[in-house]
Amino acid sequence: MFKKILIANRGEIALRVIRACREMGIKTVAVHSTADNDAMYVKMADESVCIGPASSAESYLKKSAIISAAVVTNADAVHPGYGFLSENAEFAEMLEAHGIEFIGPTPEHIRRMGDKVEAKRTAIELGIPVVPGSKGALDTITDALKTAKEIGYPVIVKAASGGGGRGMKIAFNDEELKAQFPIARSEAKVAFGDDRVYMEKYLVNPKHIEIQLIGDKFGNVVTIGERDCSMQRKNQKIIEEAPASILTKKQSQDIQNIVRNAMEKLKYRGAGTIEFLFENGKFYFMEMNTRLQVEHPVTEQVYGVDLVQEQIRVAEGHKLSFKQEDIVPHCHALECRINAEDPETFVPFPGTVKYYHAPGGLGVRVDSGLYAGYKIPSCYDSMIAKVITFALTRDEAITKMYYALSEMIVDGVKTSIPLQQELLKQPAFLDGTYPIHWLQDYIQAKNEAKEKVEVQDDEPHKAKKKKSK
């Protein structure tokens, strides 16, 4: 049994882990940068250690500082949350060398599934369906053109070590591929320190479906349903939901069986998520995240499990506390990621929160570290809260979300709430058919319509000036 856990993260996910630990009787240590001195998670932890300045590279990504904090505070284990060092195999190995448990998969699994090329190769070996594409990294434009000819246009070039849309380029013909290939490699190098890229067939209108899973050290693996994360802009998720309303019961069961069998063969332990593109009734492997997901709360609400506490139990060496037959959906859940940003331009909007009011009521959950007077830093991700609603039906969950967002007040900064309320009323969202490119197309059409109106409004003024002359 762990007596003390250090949380190598910040913001709402650090707070989420602290609350899980409290319920289990485990003490917590918060690490923080100077920019997070007054963060809620720092106030709520049993102990806190400042590990560096505001820069992530000098604080939350600095392995030596975090491990030193764990050693000094006598922490038994480290929970990495998501992002930062959560999928860093070297960090997991360094903790292991210091006798500190990493609450996550083995370093081997992190490496194998974290590298996009190796992950795809592994998926094929394990019998997981994949998108047609290159067998490995592509070194030259000649290799890229040859592969594109084999699989057919359109194609997408992706960073081997990447995610979040960086190092991704789409090409519909040879000329576009010649132009985009070096750009993809350059972006991959800057973002991840690795310029290797690979290629896949580009699916035109797929859904983004992901399968939540967790395994223990005894070879047991349980899949905990699926999530639909198709409402996204530039590969950044905006609204997530579970279960995926677009899937039939058989489609859901079939893909979960494939994932569970694959992870049992891999002897995977800890929480993980396998992400798929789903088009024309077929699933295609995208990637695996060997960590907790931002959107894990929708799964928790639908299936009645505490994924963070289960991560901790597995790391302690216990068997999973539930079996596959125990995983039954009880409701439908939605999650809106609330970002401190301009809802029209998407420009980050850090600043001081003058007044804060969280929504409430039956079927509403808010994961956030906001409070009145809190200064939102400019140096980190703009997400400041997650609003989760759940009800017996999808329609009820959507209605709850709309009014929950209406109740939410974050005075002093702009947020994404107005956009999300707008999206909740769109026919494509209401019927669940929206593909991953829908939001980008919607925003583009909206901006074009706005520009057209502005031009039309300006024409009478131009005519009046001309007449006065």
The answer to whether 58 touches 20, Cβ cutoff 8 Å, is no
Would the CA dihedral through 240, 242, 246, 251 be positive or negative? Answer: positive
Extract the tokens encoding 36.
């997070």
Q: What is the 3-state secondary structure (H, E, C) of the chain?
A: CCCEEEECCCHHHHHHHHHHHHHCCCEEEEEEEHHHCCCHHHHHCCEEEEEECCCHHHCCCCHHHHHHHHHHCCCCEEECCCCCCCCCHHHHHHHHHCCCEECCCCHHHHHHHHCHHHHHHHHHHCCCCECCECCCCECCHHHHHHHHHHHCCCEEEEECCCCCCCCCEEECCHHHHHHHHHHHHHHHHHHHCCCCEEEEECCCCCEEEEEEEEECCCCCEEEEEEEEEEEEECCEEEEEEECCCCCCHHHHHHHHHHHHHHHHHHCCCEEEEEEEEEECCEEEEEEEECCCCCCHHHHHHHHCCCHHHHHHHHHHCCCCCCCHHHCCCCCEEEEEEEECECCCCCCECCEECCEEECCCCCCEEEEECCCCCCEECCCCCCEEEEEEEEECCHHHHHHHHHHHHHHCEEECCCCCHHHHHHHHCCHHHHCCCCCCCHHHHHHHHHHHHHHHHHHHHHHHHHHHHHHHC
Instruction: Give the number of residues written for the chain.
Output: 469
List the catalytic residue out of 16, 111, 269, 291: 291
How do 4-7 and 27-33 pair as beta strands?
parallel
Active-site annotation holds for 291: yes
Measure CA 452 to chain center.
35
What contacts 339, CB < 8 A, 6 or more positions away?
348, 382, 383, 384, 415, 416
Sheet holding 169-171, edge to edge: 169-171, 155-159, 197-201
Residues that are catalytic: 291
